[in-house]
Amino acid sequence: MMKVKSASFFKLLLLQCLTVLTFAAQDDSFDFFYFVQQWPASYCDTKRSCCYPTTGKPAEDFSIHGLWPNRDDGSWPSNCNVEDSSFNVFEVLDLITRMQQDWPSFSCPSSNGVRLWTHEWKKHGTCSRLNQHQYFQTVLDFKEKANLLHVLEHAGIFPGGFYSVEFIKDAIKACVGYTPFIECNVDQARNHQLYQVYLCVDKFASNFIECPVFPHGRCGGSPIEFPSFSSSRADS
Ligand code: AMP
């Protein structure tokens, strides 16, 4: 009986040691950030559809998806602080109006954004070495620095049209100074369309940089659609 008890005690001890070692070994290093903006019309016109935020349908503009720490080898850290990763809205009260405008959630059912911000903070923000206020403020400021809709319209690229990926990339590089990565998705009519634009930011979250590595994948069609948001529909 004593033998069985001590065997299970040692098993428990071993398990605890392994858990501690796993946490200690978790690699939260990173080399740069992806700053990802999304074209809401392309999120909404897919098979999955979307729901407008509880604050109403936003104006036609790119929205923020997130600021994601990444490594030069293409891997990335995530969920870096499982113990204290809760999103506290009171820490960003002064930013809420901007967050609602520039970082809305389009998932269903309609939401006020808190679920998306919580997800982004937990998964990516906790690895950023920024505190919560710095993280959200930094992201909002980068959106102002790279006003993509303005940049594209300046180059003659308007919602509702079809354009080559190279033309879109060149237009962004000409204004922002750095080459973006363009991610496409597919609408219900199987058109390949502009979905997300990735720009890279140095690891201090200070400046745009050339991307050390791009995400995998490329847009299937060329030209691709830049769908209009004004004609897009959402579920309630
Ligand atoms: P991430 O884990 O940061 O790569 O984000 C991916 C998750 O964010 C997925 O669950 C997506 O469905 C969700 N997502 C992406 N864009 C939006 C959006 N505009 N509104 C709400 N959820 C989104």
In a domain? residue 46: yes
Q: Which of 212, 182, 173 is nearest to 70 (CA)?
A: 212
Predicted structure pTM score: 0.89
Mean pLDDT to the nearest integer, 167-178 = 98
Cα dihedral sign, 180-183-188-191 = positive
101 DSSP β-pair partners:
none
pLDDT level of residue 5 (50, 70, 90 thresholds): low
Residue 236 pLDDT: 57
Give the DSSP letter string of 71-120: -TTS-------SSS----GGGGGGGHHHHHHHS----SS---SHHHHHHH
Mean pLDDT to the nearest integer, 114-129 = 97
In a domain? residue 40: yes
When divided into structural domains, the chain yields a total of: 1
Report how many helices (DSSP H) and strands (DSSP E) the chain contains, helices first.
7, 7
The answer, yes or no, to whether any atom of ligand 1 lies below 6 A from the CB of 122, is no
Per-residue pLDDT of 126-166, as tens digits, reads 999 999 999 999 999 999 999 999 999 999 999 999 999 99
Whole-number mean pLDDT of the chain?
91
| CATH assignment at residue 169 | 3.90.730.10
The answer, yes or no, to whether any atom of ligand 1 lies below 6 A from the CB of 38, is yes
**DSSP state for residue 155 in the 8-state scheme:** T
In a domain? residue 90: yes
- Give the number of other Cβ atoms within 10 Å of residue 1's Cβ: 4
In a domain? residue 126: yes
pLDDT level of residue 219 (50, 70, 90 thresholds): very high
Cβ neighbours for 43, distance < 8 A, ≥ 6 positions apart: 50, 106, 185, 195
In a domain? residue 236: no
110 DSSP β-pair partners:
none
In a domain? residue 17: no
Residue 11 pLDDT: 55
The catalytic residue positions are 65, 120, 124
The residue segments making up the domain with residue 188 are: 28-231
pLDDT level of residue 17 (50, 70, 90 thresholds): very low
Q: Which of 25, 79, 91, 35 is nearest to 203 (CA)?
A: 35
Over 90: is that where the pLDDT of 35 sits?
yes
**Nearest ligand 1 atom, CA 124:** 3
CB 154 within 8 A of CB 170: no
Residue 222 pLDDT: 84
The answer, yes or no, to whether any atom of ligand 1 lies below 6 A from the CB of 112, is no
In a domain? residue 137: yes
Cα 116 to ligand 1 centre (Å):
7
Per-residue pLDDT of 64-98, as tens digits, reads 999 999 999 999 999 999 887 799 999 999 999 99
Cβ neighbours for 50, distance < 8 A, ≥ 6 positions apart: 40, 43, 44, 106, 107, 108, 234, 235
Tell me what percent of the residues of the chain surpass a pLDDT of 70.
88
Over 50: is that where the pLDDT of 47 sits?
yes
Which phi and psi (to 5°) does residue 46 adopt?
A: -90, 180
Over 90: is that where the pLDDT of 25 sits?
no
pLDDT level of residue 195 (50, 70, 90 thresholds): very high
**Nearest ligand 1 atom, CA 66:** 3
Per-residue pLDDT of 51-66, as tens digits, reads 999 999 999 999 999 9
pLDDT level of residue 39 (50, 70, 90 thresholds): very high
Mean pLDDT to the nearest integer, 10-30 = 59
Burial of 222 (0-12, 13-18, 19+ CB in 10 A): middle
Residue 83 pLDDT: 83
In a domain? residue 128: yes
Tokens 């069609």 sit on residue: 221
